[in-house]
Copies of this chain bind each other. A is one copy, B any other.
Amino acid sequence: MEFTSIGVVRSPFTSHQGTPIQSAFAADAKGEIVLSPEYVEALADLDGFTRIWLVYAFHRAGSYQARVVPYRDTDARGLFATRAPSRPNPIGISVLTLERIEENILYVAGIDMLDGTPVLDVKPYVPTFDSFPDGKAGWLDRKIIERRQADKRFER
């Protein structure tokens, strides 16, 4: 399947090292989603949402590994039980706080993507559809490392 970048992330982070590993750990990290100008009309009504989903390509991720040692663990885990970027299809999803929209630029907080990340999609975050506070989170419920920033283990 062929997908096309619809824009790019402007982020303070230029290398995996030191980048927040999740937007939940990046509340103060601000940046911009710069869409191609042709998409201005499609952004109508989005400013009524507190949060958005960004769907993007992990453009700096290393190649697929079936098992990885996640940032918050010391044991190798199956790749699909992690959010590591070295996936068969290197697609990431992040919840960002939408501060404002000006023309084709979304000003956001919670950036956990690298500068230059290609954007695939923007969707509204809808608590009724997306928020499930209960439930088990496997090895992450027992995680032993309180790490909030990435290192270079998954970078190519």
Consensus secondary structure, chain A interface: mixed
Q: Which residues of B contact A88 (CB under 8 A)?
A: 4, 6, 39, 42, 121
Shortest Cβ distance from residue A70 to the other chain B in the assembled complex, whole angstroms = 10
Count the A residues whose beta carbon is within 8 Å of the partner chain — how many?
Answer: 62
**A16 at interface (Cβ–Cβ under 8 A)?**
no
Whether A48 contacts B3 by the Cβ 8 Å rule is no
Report A's interface with B, CB cutoff 8 A: 1-6, 22-24, 39, 41-51, 53, 55, 57, 66-67, 77-83, 87-89, 91, 93, 95, 118, 120-141
A-B contact pairs, 5 of them (CB 8 A): A42-B88, A55-B55, A81-B124, A95-B132, A130-B132
